[in-house]
């Protein structure tokens, strides 16, 4: 009974050997947050491309039922990580498990249980919307009698019901994205990987997609979503992981991270004249505060703790609530759109 | 859309373990080609009919008038059966090299497919299966044309689609392997001139290989197309012993099996980083 001994191991708080016991019980793995088998588990994962180390000892665990936003500047290794989860890229070092399945050895089973929205659109342009979905209903093993239902359901989710006959080539960018997303939902996956699902979409379309992601979350589907839109991560994610240079540098709920790194208030000071910004920066840093430059002004994080004496010397601030973007910029040293 | 409906539509399900090699995965790959064929069958059929007709007309009558009989057959009969094999090779290997390369490199079709529970072997099998089916059907067209030119129909001809299917499957896998070896469209020139041409010339298609130098004859034994030609001619005209026929089938099947492994191996190297 290796299964139960492994469970015992796990219950002692050492989830070292999560074997496939949960898999024997099938639906037991679907218990939402707190369930024993993490949806995603990466341990010391390294991926190199020649001299470049794209993923550098990545540690990441996503419990089932959680929406995790993966934030990171360009080249942080988000897409590489996603590709390793589908075994389309093989890690050089480390261990990866998805819903209890070892990757890459049991990757096919893992892929049967997850849906993948790639960063770069790989829809079949020569086929219509309906034909694209039909093809994938085979690939995802949707049983024959349920294929029609699956196709109709996903077209409804994408709000493309009346576009079934349209060739993908004739769809707008937003429609293509929607199709790309729901294509991953044909088989009602338990885990969905989304690599920048809303990039380049207008706000209305993006909001519609947020609706889909929220519905997934409400139904207990685990979502790993990389994004450049901080607002999106803040709004949709139960937790965010900040990634830089191939590692997770910080992880937590948006609220906790903001409180920890940026306090409650940010004050923006706009100095007059040349060199004023640097001077201001020096002054604030002397008092141990963190700042970031935004255009011609200086944002002081955790400004609620600024001593009055210092504040008097800085000038008149614009006040706003701290947000995740402040945290992101502080931790990664990069600006985002 | 109502919130309830959306939640209902997003609800997850439990998923069984997929098999090591599943028909649905292969069919999904075939489905794409089948759908596209629905849009292009007219052009495909046109090419499949017109080409052998022209070959038979020009070579059959032009050369046939000079040659008369060849290896015991009237030249047009000899040629008609040879062209079946050639068109099988063209119908399977050519699109296997070109389309597979384009789908991998430019359309990113395989990236999408392999994110689903499909492995490279199923993918490669699906691609080859479709081309083999097409070859099995279109390979018979030159035979029908040759019948129009006076080839006597016989029951052995019923084996031709099967032989065309087997040869088509093998050549498609050969083509897929090549498409995974080459790294640019430019290198296809090497493939077509350096590989295709000798393959279809030195196979007993347009003339018997018995007139060629001995070493070329020996080399032709390693040419799968030669075995396809022999099988096709043997079924159409009879005169091929069971042992010989089995040997040709075994060589074609062995070649298909080798290519199946090579294609899967090389494709995996390309699509898994
Ligand atoms: N196939 C590859 N060959 C060589 N280098 C690669 C390959 N794939 C990714 N890289 C490199 O690995 C690093 C991480 O890339 P990755 O695409 O994972 O970043 P990302 O976080 O997704 O960035 P973005 O936000 O721009 O999508 C980059 O420096 C990239 O150039
Ligand atoms: Mg990326």
**Inter-chain CB proximity A122 and B111 less than 8 Å:** yes
Q: Which residue has the higher pLDDT, A134 or B74?
A: A134
- Nearest-CB residue to A187 (from B15, B113, B273): B15
Which residue among A78, A246, A335 is best mutated to probe the pocket of ligand 1, counting the most ligand atoms within 8 A of its Cβ?
A78
> Which of A69-78, A193-202, B168-177 holds the top average pLDDT?
B168-177
> Measured between CA atoms, how close is B264 to chain A, in angstroms?
15
Angle at B167 between CA B163 and CA B168, to 5 degrees: 110
Question: Which SS3 state, helix, strand or coil, does residue A252 take?
Answer: strand
Rg of chain A over all Cα atoms, to the nearest angstrom: 23
How far apart are alpha carbons B193 and A12 in whole angstroms?
A: 67
Average pLDDT over residues A228-232: 86
Which residue among A53, A76, A225 is best mutated to probe the pocket of ligand 1, counting the most ligand atoms within 8 A of its Cβ?
A76
Angle at A284 between CA A282 and CA A287, to 5 degrees: 110
Q: Which residue has the higher pLDDT, A193 or B204?
A: A193
Q: How confident is the model at residue A283 (pLDDT cuts 50, 70, 90)?
A: confident
> Is the CB of residue A124 less than 8 Å from the CB of residue B109?
yes
A146 close to B (CB below 8 A): no
List A193's β-bridge partners, or say none. A116, A224
Lowest-confidence range among A142-146, A269-273, B74-78, B105-109?
Answer: A269-273
**Residues within 8 A of B (CB atoms), A 226-285 only:** none
A16-64 confidence digits (pLDDT tens): 333 333 333 333 444 444 457 999 999 999 999 999 999 999 999 999 9
Angle at A228 between CA A100 and CA A281, to 5 degrees: 120
User: Is residue A162 over pLDDT 80?
Assistant: yes
User: Is residue A103 over pLDDT 70?
Assistant: yes
Q: Which residue of A has its CA nearest to B12?
A: A188
**Inter-chain CB proximity B116 and A108 less than 8 Å:** no
Q: Which residue has the higher pLDDT, A9 or B86?
A: B86
Lowest-confidence range among A237-251, A300-314, B123-137, B175-189?
Answer: A300-314
DSSP H or E run through A225: strand A222-227
Backbone φ/ψ region at A186: left (φ over 0), alpha (ψ -120 to 50), beta: alpha
Average pLDDT over residues A278-288: 86
Task: Find the length of chain A.
Answer: 337
For residue A245, the ligand closest to its alpha carbon is: 1
Q: How confident is the model at residue A335 (pLDDT cuts 50, 70, 90)?
A: low
**Looking at residue A133, what DSSP letter applies?**
H
Average pLDDT over residues A285-310: 87
- What pLDDT, on a 0 to 100 scale, did the predictor assign at position A208? 85
pLDDT string in tens for chain B (273-residue length) = 788 888 889 999 888 899 889 999 999 999 999 999 998 899 989 988 898 888 888 888 888 888 888 888 888 888 889 999 999 999 999 999 999 999 999 999 999 999 999 999 999 999 999 999 999 999 999 999 888 888 888 899 999 999 999 999 999 999 999 999 999 988 888 888 888 888 988 898 888 888 889 999 999 999 999 999 999 999 999 888 899 999 999 999 999 999 999 999 999 999 998
Q: How confident is the model at residue A316 (pLDDT cuts 50, 70, 90)?
A: confident
Q: How confident is the model at residue A309 (pLDDT cuts 50, 70, 90)?
A: confident
- What pLDDT, on a 0 to 100 scale, did the predictor assign at position A17? 34
């Amino acid at each position: 009974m290796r299964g139960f001994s492994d469970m015992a191991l796990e219950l002692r708080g050492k989830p070292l050997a999560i074997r496939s016991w949960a898999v024997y019980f099938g639906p037991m793995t679907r218990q939402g947050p707190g369930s024993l088998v993490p949806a995603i588990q990466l341990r010391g994962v390294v991926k190199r491309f020649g001299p470049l180390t794209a993923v550098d000892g990545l540690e990441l665990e996503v419990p089932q039922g959680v929406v995790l936003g993966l934030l990171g500047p360009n080249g942080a290794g988000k897409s590489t990580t996603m590709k390793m989860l589908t075994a389309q890229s093989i890690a050089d070092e480390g261990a990866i498990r998805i819903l209890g399945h070892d990757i890459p050895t049991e990757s096919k089973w893992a892929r049967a249980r997850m849906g993948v929205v790639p960063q770069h659109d790989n829809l079949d342009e020569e086929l219509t919307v309906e034909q694209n979905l039909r093809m994938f209903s085979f690939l995802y093993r949707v049983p024959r009698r349920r294929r029609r239902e699956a196709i109709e359901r996903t077209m409804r989710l994408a709000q493309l019901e009346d576009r079934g006959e349209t060739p993908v080539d004739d769809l707008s960018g937003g429609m293509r994205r929607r199709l790309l997303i729901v294509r991953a939902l044909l088989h009602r996956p338990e885990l969905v990987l989304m690599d920048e699902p809303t990039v380049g979409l207008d706000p209305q379309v993006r909001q519609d997609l947020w609706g889909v992601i929220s519905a997934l979350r409400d139904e207990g589907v685990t979502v790993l979503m990389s994004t450049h839109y901080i607002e999106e991560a803040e709004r949709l994610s139960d937790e965010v992981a900040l990634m830089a240079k191939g590692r997770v540098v910080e992880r937590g709920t948006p609220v906790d991270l903001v409180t920890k790194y940026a306090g409650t208030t940010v004050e923006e000071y706009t100095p007059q004249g040349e060199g004023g910004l640097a001077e201001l920066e020096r002054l604030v840093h002397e008092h141990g505060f963190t700042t970031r430059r935004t255009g011609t002004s200086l944002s002081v994080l955790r400004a609620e703790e600024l001593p009055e004496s210092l504040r008097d010397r800085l000038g008149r601030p614009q006040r706003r609530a701290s947000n995740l973007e402040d945290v992101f910029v502080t931790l990664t040293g990069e600006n985002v759109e | 859309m109502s919130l309830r409906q959306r939640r209902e539509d997003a609800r997850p399900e439990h998923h069984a373990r997929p098999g090591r090699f599943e028909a649905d995965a292969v069919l999904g790959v075939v489905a794409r080609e089948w759908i596209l064929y629905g849009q292009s069958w007219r052009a495909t059929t046109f090419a499949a009919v017109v080409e052998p007709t022209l070959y038979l007309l020009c070579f059959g009558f032009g050369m046939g008038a000079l040659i008369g009989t060849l290896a015991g057959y009237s030249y047009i009969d000899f040629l008609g059966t040879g062209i079946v094999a050639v068109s099988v090779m063209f119908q399977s290997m050519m699109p296997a090299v070109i389309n597979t390369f384009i789908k991998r490199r430019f359309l990113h079709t395989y990236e999408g497919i392999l994110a689903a529970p499909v492995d490279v072997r199923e993918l490669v099998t699906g691609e080859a299966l479709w081309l083999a089916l097409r070859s099995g059907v279109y390979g018979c067209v030159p035979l029908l044309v040759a019948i129009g030119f006076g080839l006597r129909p016989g029951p052995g001809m019923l084996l031709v689609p099967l032989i065309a299917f087997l040869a088509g499957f093998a050549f498609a896998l050969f083509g897929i392997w090549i498409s995974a070896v080459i790294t640019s469209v430019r290198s296809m020139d090497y493939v077509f001139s350096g590989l295709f041409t000798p393959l279809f010339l030195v196979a007993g298609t347009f003339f018997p290989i018995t007139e060629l130098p001995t070493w070329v004859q020996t080399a032709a034994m390693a040419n799968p197309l030669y075995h396809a030609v022999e099988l096709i001619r043997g079924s159409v005209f009879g005169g091929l012993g069971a042992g010989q026929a089995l040997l040709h089938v075994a060589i074609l099947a062995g070649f298909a099996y080798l290519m199946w492994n090579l294609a899967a191996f090389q494709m995996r190297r390309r699509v898994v980083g």
